[in-house]
Amino acid sequence: MSFTITPLKNGLENVQGFFCDATNVGMRPNPDQGDLAFIRSEIPCDIASVFTSNRFQAAPIKHYQRYGKDFQTNFILMNAKNANAMTGKAGIEDIDRILEALGEHTDVLNPVMSSTGVIGYRLPVDKIISGFEKLDFYAKNSDKTARAIMTTDSFKKELAYEVTLESGESFTVAAICKGAGMINPAMATMLCFIITDADIPKEEMYPLLKTGADYSFNRISVDGDTSTNDTVMLMTNRQSAVYRQDAFKAVLDKIMFELAMMILKDGEGATKVVAFNVKGAINDEEAQKAATALSNSLLVKTALFGEDPNWGRIASTIGASGIECDEERLTIYYDDLLIYSDQYRELDKEREERAYEIMKQEQFTITCDLGLGEGSFTAYGCDLSYDYVKINAEYRT
């Protein structure tokens, strides 16, 4: 049974029954870019969410969890510049005040909030409430909404697809996302909001979202190290009355993977994206350990930035990752160029030059075959440049 996935222009406005808009309430100095935004559905939606594993979950996440496991909502309120994290009970009370005031401007059912920005400061509650007058609750401004949640992002992240089944029936999925941190150690907040009119059963929402996140956002982050605010939400109003699991899973995975790659490409100061493909490990878990270590190694990252085909740093990182490995069985490839094996330990000039060519690309793959078993995992990383230091030394101040 086949289906077609067609990219659509613009983002959230493609999904029937949803509205979105943004405004500037003075949290962000540039008045042309929003700092307060929303996604609203005209009818109640089911929602599923994957949150940070950080022990210090931000106030909006704690607030969300107060609704219990199964609830319907019609409203997500978002803000930038302030994470509302490490703000204690007061941080949750601030959300209550804000959402109560929101109810005076539009019909809300179990509204949720999502925040990104600096940790440790109370939300400017009055500013936010005063912004409600400036929002158009019947607008479809995906562009403005996607821009409003950006922090150090250098471009907005927005996608939409229509999925057409063989029968000719179709449903739509759209998403906006923010995140541009080094990702490793994954503490720059990432937020992702996915909306759909697909008739997905409630009980399939969380498992599909979680699996998709594990294959995308969690491949660009390290061992559960996440920020206080990381959030992926999926909301459906079911208005298409159409669903097929394989088609929905395909488009959901595609959206999350593409957004994850956009985050990586937008990595602070990053000049290239590298796939670290570890195979031949004794099991998948060990392959994941090694691949994640490679994508996080400062020495590997700086070698990537310097375009230095120094495979010794790759080998040393694998050796230090605590997994089973053997230098006589290991092989390392940059794209399809064999760069290390028991027989080829020293780079000759020709292979070194080919390695330079490969490393100059904006995107390439480093494959490490441990030669021991069937375990494999691919993690994605970016290089570490001067600009990363600049952005992160100066962020906040």
Shortest spacing between CB 155 and a copy of itself, in angstroms: 22
Decide: residue 366, CB within 10 A, 0-12 exposed, 13-18 middle, 19+ buried: buried
Query: Of 52, 189, 196, 231, which is the active-site residue?
Result: 189
Distance CA 163, CA 247 (A): 7
Comparison of 61 and 247: residue with beta carbon closer to a copy of itself: 61
Query: Using CA atoms, how far apart are residues 305 and 298, in angstroms rounded to an integer?
Result: 10
* Nearest-approach distance from CB 115 to a copy of itself, in angstroms: 13
Cβ–Cβ under 8 Å, residues 142 and 10 = yes
Per-residue tokens: 312: 């010794």
- C-beta closer to a copy of itself: residue 231 or 297: 297
Q: Which is nearer to a copy of itself, 203 or 324 (CB)?
A: 324
In the chain, the amino acid numbered 307 is E
Active-site residue flag, 189? yes
In contact, 109 and 71? CB cutoff 8 Å: no
Q: By C-beta, is 176 or 318 nearer to a copy of itself?
A: 318
Minimum CB distance to a copy of itself smaller for 170 or for 392: 392
C-alpha dist (Å) from residue 320 to 17, 240, 280: 52, 51, 17
Is the Cβ–Cβ distance between 383 and 305 less than 8 Å?
Answer: yes
Residue 102: CB minimum distance to a copy of itself, A: 24
- Residue 353: CB minimum distance to a copy of itself, A: 13
Sequential DSSP letters for 70-117: S-EEEEEEEESSB---S-HHHHHHHHHHHHHHHTTTS--SS-EEEE-S
How many Å apart are CA 242 and CA 168, to the nearest integer? 10
Contact indicator for 318, 330 with CB cutoff of 8 Å:
yes
Q: Considering the complex, what minimum distance in angstroms separates the CB of residue 64 from a copy of itself?
A: 17
CB 145 within 8 A of CB 12: yes
> And the tokens for 357?
């060519």
Which of 151, 240 has the CB closer to a copy of itself? 151
Smallest separation (angstroms) from a copy of itself to the CB of 96: 18
Amino acid at 57: Q
Pick the closer one to a copy of itself by CB: 107 or 285.
285
E strands present in 182-249: 191-196, 231-236
CB of 301 to a copy of itself, least distance (A): 8
Catalytic residue annotation: 189
